[in-house]
Amino acid sequence: MATRAQPGPLSQAGSAGVAAVATVGVASGPGPGRPGPLQDETLGVASVPSQWRAVQGIRGETKSCQTASIATANASAQARNHVDAQVQTEAPVPVSVQPPSQYDIPRLAAFLRRVEAVVIRELNKNWQSHAFDGFEVNWTEQQQMVSCLYTLGYPPAQAQGLHVTSISWNSTGSVVACAYGRLDHGDWSTLKSFVCAWNLDRRDLRPQQPSAVVEVPSAVLCLAFHPTQPSHVAGGLYSGEVLVWDLSRLEDPLLWRTGLTDDTHTDPVSQVLSVATDGKVLLWQGIGAGQLQLTEGFALVMQQLPRSTKLKKHPHGETEVGATAVAFSSFDPRLFILGTEGGFPLKCSLAAGEAALTRMPSSVPLRAPAQFTFSPHGGPIYSVSCSPFHRNLFLSAGTDGHVHLYSMLQAPPLTSLQLSLKYLFAVRWSPVRPLVFAAASGKGDVQLFDLQKSSQKPTVLIKQTQDESPVYCLEFNSQQTQLLAAGDAQGTVKVWQLSTEFTEQGPREAEDLDCLAAEVAT
Amino acid sequence: MNEWTNTGREPDPLPSFLPGPTAPGLGEPQAEVEETLKRIQSHKGVIGTMVVNAEGIPIRTTLDNSTTVQYAGLLHHLTMKAKSTVRDIDPQNDLTFLRIRSKKHEIMVAPDKEYLLIVIQNPCE
């Protein structure tokens, strides 16, 4: 038997050597059935060299990687404890005087015995002392002149030629609102007009741009702010409606509205009192959803006016008396003075009980409020004002150019001053000086009267308009007492700063006012 | 028990809790208080009189409630301040009387350990 073993021609190093394996064929004897010529033969091992390893070597590339540097920072956090707190002011609880049982009367008596002599001695000395004669202290800077602080106007209203018909200051004295309309149209007009308000305490006050504007479908004749709520204002329209707006709500300022007949004047107390030329005096109260509801009504009928003076006409039938101006007394909240078209002021009370003889339709029974009639002016009265310092005095101004000073105790006026040859549209007492009042005239000026200095001619004459167009309304600011606002026919509102002599009370003024009021003819 | 201490003014002839007929002018304490206050009030030019206790609560007054409470609170503070001012300048000194003169009237305060007497006078010449 031959064995052949030969290594392959390309045997590699390292590769597994192909070992020749030889098997020895064993010549076996004749096996059972195996033919003799068939013999086993062993061949050499055939090795096949690997091809892929030769062709493709090991390729190597160098790569490196590195993590970016880790940025670290220190921060700390701490949970904070929150506490909510609210602050609210409450109306002060009235403290009352201690009743006698809670203190020791004998000790009080002893104390009084001790101090009485000292006190009486000091009182006597004071009464006779001349130490302080002519001694005056000035705490504030003296202002000598009256100057115009602001000139406010609303250009769209001025472009329509609207007049300023009414002005009001709000309860905090920082906002002045004016109503636009026309006072010389005799008929119904569908003129759209405006109510504008300027906040004088804001630093970015722009005189031609009011901080709140309300568009109103008809001319507004009169305006009044709520006495305690700083943003509620009521206005009476030419169409006879009374609307109440809330100026702090910018989207829909209208709060309440009502429907009426004829033009009105309003004067909010805490409800709204409206006065109209058809002779009705109505008291409205706001109820929930936007309606002003009539709570009480009064009607002025000629028949029922108290005959305390001789009125020139003796009317027949139930003619109504138109009311054009209203003023509440500062001392008695149920007492008010009405100025009428006939020129005579009426003293009225909210508590009147007698029913009115009128056939005017009304949802509430009408009563006759008039208690006393004063002697008339020569023409309709446009403005009435009650003195804040004396319970019996009031002023009235009318188209005859006169201002009458009345005392509620007698019918003829105490004095009558001729201020102007044209109409007088507004008269107001000063809130700080008992003897000062201001009047707005049809000649375009505002006259300030000081009854202490001169009762014949005005102390200061302020020219509001250059072309003598009339000044229709004026109001003192009761919080910032040196400000006076006046509105005229050119559609501008001017805020005047008064000189110090109009804003500080002198020492004897209240007594002088009392003397004036006491000149009642007996 | 409250002890009554002498404040250094002239001593009373009798202890006050024994009203007796022996001292002239000492009637019922209540009536005496009324009479004294009425005498002061009816003096020339006096607008109002009030007695305030040591805490500033008014005890007797001739003015209306709100005005009284206002005067009592404010003048009580002012009197305490004035008293401490005098004592700070000189510890041996003490406040005996306080007068405030204003444009319209004069306010006089007579202080004491327990009470204050406030009188408002209008010194019209």
Range name among A2-6, A232-236, B121-125 with the lowest pLDDT average: A2-6
CA nearest A120 in B: which residue? B40
Relative to beta strand A483-488, strand A402-407 is unpaired
Q: Residue A116 is inside which H or E element, if any?
A: helix A105-128
- In chain B, positions 51-110, which contact chain A (CB-CB < 8 Å)? 51, 53, 57-61, 65-66, 68-69, 96-97, 99, 101, 103-104, 106, 108, 110
**B112 in any annotated domain:** yes
Higher per-residue confidence, A312 vs A54? A54
pLDDT of residue A414: 79
Relative to beta strand A193-199, strand A175-181 is antiparallel
Q: Which of A138, A151, A141, A199 is nearest to A462 (CA)?
A: A151
CB-based contact B125 A130, cutoff 8 Å:
yes
pLDDT of residue A57: 63
Relative to beta strand A366-367, strand A291-299 is parallel
**B83 in any annotated domain:** yes
**B28 in any annotated domain:** no
CB-based contact A127 B45, cutoff 8 Å:
yes
- In the structure, what pLDDT confidence band is assigned to residue B11 with cuts at 50, 70 and 90? low
- The DSSP string of A218-285 is S-EEEEEE-SS-TTEEEEEETTS-EEEEETT-SS--EEEE---SS-EEEEESSSEEEEETTSEEEEEE
- In the structure, what pLDDT confidence band is assigned to residue A324 with cuts at 50, 70 and 90? confident
Distances (CA, A) of A334 to A173, A329, A348, A417: 25, 8, 8, 29
Rounding to the nearest 10 degrees, give the CA dihedral for residues A458, A464, A465, A468. Answer: -20
pLDDT of residue B16: 43
- % pLDDT > 70, chain B: 77
Distance (Å) from the alpha carbon of A329 to chain B's nearest alpha carbon? 21
CB-based contact A98 B103, cutoff 8 Å:
no
CB-based contact B117 A111, cutoff 8 Å:
yes
pLDDT of residue A14: 45
Please name the amino acid found at residue A346: L
State the Cα–Cα distance between residues A492 and A486, nearest whole angstrom. 8
If you search the block for the tokens 């006939």, which residue do you land on? A342
Question: In this structure, how many other beta carbons lie within 10 angstroms of the beta carbon of residue A31?
Answer: 9
Question: In this structure, how many other beta carbons lie within 10 angstroms of the beta carbon of residue B18?
Answer: 10
Considering only the beta carbons, identify the residue of A95, A112, A510 that sits closest to B33.
Answer: A112
**B109 in any annotated domain:** yes
- In this prediction, residues A183-205 reach a mean pLDDT of 71
Does residue A512 surpass a pLDDT of 80?
no
| pTM of the predicted protein model | 0.62
Range name among A99-113, A258-272, A495-509 with the lowest pLDDT average: A258-272
- The DSSP string of A3-33 is ------TTPPSSSPP--------------SS
Higher per-residue confidence, B45 vs A186? B45
Does residue B2 surpass a pLDDT of 80?
no
**B1 in any annotated domain:** no
If you search the block for the tokens 């190597």, which residue do you land on? A60
CA nearest B100 in A: which residue? A126
Does residue A225 surpass a pLDDT of 60?
yes
* Chain A residues close to B96, C-beta within 8 Å: 118
Which CATH number fits the domain that encloses residue B49? 3.30.450.30
Which of A306-320, B60-74, B76-90 has maximum average pLDDT? Answer: B76-90
Average pLDDT, chain B: 81
Does residue A229 surpass a pLDDT of 80?
no
Considering only the beta carbons, identify the residue of B10, B36, B106 that sits closest to A116.
Answer: B36
CA nearest B107 in A: which residue? A123
pLDDT of residue B117: 93
Considering only the beta carbons, identify the residue of B37, B61, B97 that sits closest to A97.
Answer: B61
pLDDT of residue B92: 93
**B9 in any annotated domain:** no
State the Cα–Cα distance between residues A247 and A255, nearest whole angstrom. 10
Does residue A13 surpass a pLDDT of 70?
no
Burial class (CB in 10 A: 0-12, 13-18, 19+), B113: exposed
Does residue A286 surpass a pLDDT of 90?
no
- In the structure, what pLDDT confidence band is assigned to residue A436 with cuts at 50, 70 and 90? confident
* Chain A residues close to B57, C-beta within 8 Å: 95, 97-98
pLDDT of residue A292: 54
Question: In this structure, how many other beta carbons lie within 10 angstroms of the beta carbon of residue A45?
Answer: 15
CB-based contact A94 B69, cutoff 8 Å:
yes
Range name among A173-182, A347-356, A430-439 with the lowest pLDDT average: A347-356
pLDDT of residue A32: 52
Average pLDDT, chain A: 72
Q: What is the DSSP letter of A206?
A: B
- In the structure, what pLDDT confidence band is assigned to residue A236 with cuts at 50, 70 and 90? confident
CB-based contact B32 A113, cutoff 8 Å:
yes
* Chain A residues close to B4, C-beta within 8 Å: 107
- In the structure, what pLDDT confidence band is assigned to residue A315 with cuts at 50, 70 and 90? very low
Burial class (CB in 10 A: 0-12, 13-18, 19+), A144: exposed
State the Cα–Cα distance between residues A50 and A501, nearest whole angstrom. 125
Range name among A47-61, A132-146, A358-372 with the lowest pLDDT average: A358-372
Residue A97, token pair as written in the block: 């005087």
**B4 in any annotated domain:** no
Higher per-residue confidence, B55 vs A226? B55
**Residue A409: strand, helix, or coil:** coil
Residue B74: domain span = 43-121
pLDDT of residue B85: 95
Q: Under a CB-based contact definition with an 8 Å cutoff, are residues B115 and B54 in contact? A: yes
State the Cα–Cα distance between residues A321 and A338, nearest whole angstrom. 11
Considering only the beta carbons, identify the residue of B10, B33, B58 that sits closest to A98.
Answer: B58
- In the structure, what pLDDT confidence band is assigned to residue A362 with cuts at 50, 70 and 90? low
- In the structure, what pLDDT confidence band is assigned to residue B3 with cuts at 50, 70 and 90? low
pLDDT of residue A502: 72
pLDDT of residue B23: 44
- In the structure, what pLDDT confidence band is assigned to residue B75 with cuts at 50, 70 and 90? very high
pLDDT of residue A431: 81
CB of A515 within 8 Å of any CB in chain B?
no
The angle that helices B29-41 and A105-128 make with each other, rounded to 10 degrees, is 20
**B106 in any annotated domain:** yes
* Chain A residues close to B59, C-beta within 8 Å: 97-98, 100, 103, 108
* Chain B residues close to A111, C-beta within 8 Å: 51, 112, 114-115, 117
Counting the structural domains of chain B, the total is 1
pLDDT of residue B100: 93
